[in-house]
Structure 1
Amino acid sequence: MTKLSVNINKIATLRNSRGGDVPNVVQVAKDVQRYGGQGITVHPRPDERHIRYKDVLDLRPVVTTEFNIEGNPVQKFIDLVLKVKPEQVTLVPDAEDAITSNAGWNTIKHRDYLREIISEFQDKGIRTSIFVDPDLEMVKGAANTGTDRIELYTEEYARQYAKGNKEGIKPYRSCAEAANDLGLGINAGHDLSLSNIEYFNKNIPGLLEVSIGHALIAESLYQGLEYVINQYLSLLRD
């Protein structure tokens, strides 16, 4: 089945809004795994407005599934990843003031830059993934960076699906087919939810992993974290 990695950034956002340590991100990570989540994703940003760098260090000993650290590979981020040695690092070209991720890499323009960073992580045994738009040229460019996987940026799919336009899946399917041919693993994330994940999963050949945070945490406010995680796992089974 496609693996579910739960992004816990929003838990840290809630904690930071009040100060103190409630909710506790380490405990939530433990609970996510206990409820069946197959990975924990965090995306520390330079201003630490949600996940803090210390959180990443605190989480490393308790993540027993797969630890995925996302972020823009500025030097501070690179140093953190090399220290923590997660199972996977996902490179995202965030601007420092971005509210959330809003674009994939230009894998052609930044090929040499990405190749150097990816090589550094792979030398330490860390699987690499790079965030890309559903653009065939960017997927082909990704293969030239040496990355292990790509993460398809799914905001546009989610927007089109919400409008009832299932044709919005087509560029994602084409990119997935190209990635399979190029030997790239496929992850996906951004605005995936209980309402749109099943259709996406069934129509993307070779989908290995989805990273879901905002929607999953919001859905859990109404239905409970354990129930929601198990709903996702059910929808992600082949």
Structure 2
Amino acid sequence: MISLPSHQSKQQQSAPGAAAYLAVQTGTQAEIRRVDSHFVAYLDPVKSEAAARQRLAEIAAEHRAAAHHCYAYRLSAAQGRLIERAADAGEPLHSAGRPILQVLQGRKLQDILLTVVRYFGGTKLGIGGLIRAYSDAAKAVVELAQPVSCLPQVELELCYPYELSGTIHRVLGRYQARIVSIDYGERPRLQAQVELARAEALECELLNATSGKVQLKRT
């Protein structure tokens, strides 16, 4: 797996509410040239930091001869939060990762990794030139993508007596919650995903419908 460079930033923001965001379902690639440097940009859907690291490792292996592998990603997290990370990967501080991240922020793209690989041609671009080049590469690959609109989701873990299974499933269905997994142990343990805007009402109805016999937590 690729190790994360030291020039990176991470923010975990408070819950953004139910505002829609954009995501992509398939990867996209674009290339640009600035002076004698060659930039290759990749836009990939990812759902976790582990998935982002795995994709970064694949790109690094494919471009071993490149001078820099810069990136930024924005990921949905627990409780409707948002994780953002950006890395300059050896370029001057904030000259690569930040402009890439700003493109993702400006387009409201989420659950996404944007990587820009640079093959250095010998001519230095300067800080301003690097910022423009990485921003242009990020914009080029985003322009080729076909994003879809999404709403923030949260995951709930439910534990309940077997005799309440029918009630639980009916309530989840009314709120269009997606069942991720069910562990049939001594008591069923169910993981479900629901839109953030509906989560609180769903939790209240589950408690009311089961007379408080369901154990709930957000994961």
Band the TM-score falls in, shorter-chain normalisation = under 0.3
Q: TM-score, normalised by structure 1?
A: 0.24
Pick the structure with greater CA Rg: 2
As a proportion of its length, which structure holds more strand? 2
Q: Comparing both chains, which one has the higher relative contact order based on Cα–Cα distances under 8 Å and sequence gaps of 6 or more?
A: 2
Higher helix share: 1
Structure 2 length as normaliser, TM-score? 0.26
